[in-house]
Amino acid sequence: MAYADLRQWLAAVESHGDLLRLSGVSHDLEMSGIAEIMVRESKKPVPALLFDDIPGYRKGFRTLFGMLASPRTVALSLGLPENQLDRVSLAQNWRNKRRNLRYIPPKVVDSGPVLENVQTGKNIDLLQFPTPRIHELDGGRYFGTAHTVVTRDPSSGWVNVGTYRVMLVDRDRLALHMLETQHGAIMFNEYMAKKQPMPVALAMGVDPALFFASITRIPWGVSEYDFTGGIRGEPIEVFKGQYTGLPIPARAEIVVEGECLPGDMIAEGPFGEWHGYYANMGLEPVEEPVIRVKSLMFRNDPILTCVCGGKPPHDYTLTRAVAQSGMIWDALESCAVPGVTGVWCHEAGAGSLLNVVSLKTAYAGHSRQAALLATQIPPHGRYTIVVDDDVNPADLNEVMWAVSTRADPERAIEILRFCRSTSADTTISMEEKRKTRFLYNSRAIIDACRPYDWKHQFYPIAQISPELRSKLLTKWAKVFEGWR
């Protein structure tokens, strides 16, 4: 079922026991610190964390962390089976849904709950929200981390909805950071080349399906609004922004309208990013575009949605992993690579840097073909490992067992040079980033499949058979009780 808005979704999450309400937690490092500890150390599925009674702020002005931090909340948001929550099944179920997705354009409405409070001109006050400082070395507080940024291509009129970090500057200014390869940055550069202001709208507290779409790689020219309509099976409600003319989610919690002006830049960051580092220029701020806010809208008792990036795993590595695993799997099949039995982009690699493909090899060179293709699926793919179909690609213990016992380094490892990169790359020095905007990196593949030319003579595995395992689990059920 589709949820009308974030609040209806939260009610469903809470009914499953997956929401934790907390009061009295500071916006300064405490909320994000609790979120990080929960994700990294919880022995149970990670709950969504809803903070209220935040010291120094009005009661009812809330923040939400960990929106898509558990398999159940991901499945709930995307309308996937909730009885298949292992990693590979999540990716498979998502790609099955995506394969048959029918784009549904947004429904234009005249109004919405986000218009319950409207501030313009001198009344705009971004400081009234409990915007968190997320990491101890961050250069500011971040208003936008789990949000959507709405822009329009100046040439085609296509509406893009992406997620790009946004730093709070003061009452009516924000700083916008976008990587060079992202659609929003490409649009921004076109506006600036024409010496035109870029209209922009930010929406916080949107339907989690729209947030998922905004961090998923979608082809240029396809709007995330249409994509989200397909996920939901019904359209997102939008209205025309009074200042920007952009379509705005009517049921968002908080919406900002503004513009980026040519030459209007400000020091932004540093900020601890998705891969666990301050990667752009270390702890040096970088000049980024200013968003000059013209209109601020928010619901009564608004919820500012946040994520706590950093050293993986964090509260959106799972989301990235599901989206990227499905995309690689689809890409391999679209290139007519047969026998793919699973793909998982590991959270240790932040959902895109360490990717594993399991394969039922059918011909010489099959595993190498799959590995080489998988390395080039955006955005990263630094290490791609291909394993046989008897290895669970989501289980790093099994994967590394296969690497250790089936991969002869001289034969199994290939290095690809001069691959695409961005300023977020931690393997490129700050000195190199200062020298040039043309950034490259390398990719590695590890072919950990049994050598095809003698795979049928490969050494037998010493492991309990499925039949004996089942028999023992039944016969000695009391022994295993509480241990499994």
| Residues 424 and 386 placed together within one structural domain of the fold | yes
| 40 falls within a domain | no
**Is 156 found in the same domain as 201?**
yes
The answer to whether residue 136 sits within a structural domain is: yes
Instruction: Give the chain's mean pLDDT.
Output: 94
Cis amide leading into 313 (omega within 30): yes
Query: How far apart, in whole angstroms, are the C-alpha atoms of residue 364 and residue 160?
Result: 43
- Across the range 214-222, mean pLDDT stands at 92
Q: Label residue 243 exposed, middle or buried (CB < 10 Å: 0-12, 13-18, 19+).
A: middle
Answer whether residue 42 shows pLDDT above 90: no
pLDDT on residue 447? 96
Position 372: which residue type?
L
For 433-442, which contacts have Cβ atoms below 8 Å and span 24 or more sequence positions?
433/280, 433/281, 434/281, 437/180, 441/382, 442/415, 442/416, 442/417, 442/418
Q: Where are any strands of DSSP class E within 173-278? A: 173-176, 198-204, 237-240, 247-249, 254-260, 265-268
Mean pLDDT over 423-432 rounds to 83
Q: Is the link from the previous residue into 379 a cis peptide, with omega within 30 of 0?
A: yes
Instruction: Tell me, yes or no, whether 291 and 371 share the same domain.
Output: no
**Residue range 86-113: mean pLDDT, rounded:** 94
**β-pair partners for 356:** 344, 385
- Residue showing tokens 């500057």: 169
Residue 327 has pLDDT above 80, yes or no: yes
- Where is the domain boundary, 305, 337, 362? 305
pLDDT at 422: 80
What's the pLDDT tens digit per position in 149-191? Answer: 999 999 999 999 999 999 999 999 999 999 888 999 999 999 9
Tokens of 418: 């001069």
Could you count the other beta carbons within 10 Å of the beta carbon of residue 461? 8
Same domain, yes or no: 331 and 255: no
Sequence-ordered alpha helix ranges (H) in 150-241:
183-193, 208-214, 224-232
User: Do 361 and 250 belong together in one domain?
Assistant: no
Q: How many alpha carbons lie under 13 Å from residue 109 in its C-beta half-sphere?
A: 15
Question: What mean pLDDT do residues 203-226 have?
Answer: 95
In whole angstroms, what is the distance from residue 253 CA to residue 129 CA?
12
Give the domain CATH number at 359.
3.40.1670.10
Q: Cα separation of 288 and 280, whole Å?
A: 12
How many structural domains comprise the chain? 2
Residue-wise pLDDT for 451-474, tens only, equals: 999 999 999 999 999 999 999 999
Let me know whether 300 and 324 are in one domain: no
Tell me the percentage of the chain whose pLDDT exceeds 70: 100
For residue 115 the two structure tokens come to 């218009």
The predicted structure's pLDDT at residue 1: 62
Alpha carbon of residue 91 to chain centroid:
14
Question: 125 lies in which domain range?
Answer: 101-305
If asked whether residues 134 and 221 sit together in one domain, one would say: yes
Cα separation of 41 and 45, whole Å?
A: 10
Is 422 contained in some domain?
yes
CATH number of the domain that 299 lies in? 2.30.110.10
Q: What are phi and psi of 409, to 5 degrees?
A: -50, -45
Over residues 121-141, the pLDDT tens digits come to 999 999 999 999 999 999 999
Residue 8 lies in a domain: no
Q: Is residue 39 part of a domain?
A: no
Question: Are 149 and 283 members of one domain?
Answer: yes
Cα–Cα separations (whole angstroms), residue 194 to 29, 323, 469: 41, 34, 68
**143 and 270 both lie in a single domain:** yes
What count of other Cβ atoms lies within 10 Å of the Cβ of residue 193?
Answer: 10
Together in a domain, 105 and 237 = yes
Within a domain: 111: yes
- Residue 245's identity, in one-letter code, is G
pLDDT reading at 482 higher than 80? no
Q: Are 63 and 6 in contact (CB under 8 A)?
A: no
What number is the average pLDDT over the span 243-253?
98
**Is the domain of 268 the same as that of 123?**
yes
Asked if residue 338 and residue 288 are part of one domain, the reply reads no
Between 378 and 301, the more confident residue is: 301
Q: In this structure, is residue 216 part of a structural domain?
A: yes
- Amino acid 362: pLDDT: 96
Query: For residue 346, what pLDDT band results from cuts at 50, 70 and 90?
Result: very high
Look at residue 95 and tell me if it is in a domain: no
CA angle 366, 370, 376 (to 5 degrees): 150
Residues of the chain with pLDDT > 90, as a percent, come to 84
pLDDT-derived band at 438 (thresholds 50, 70, 90) equals confident
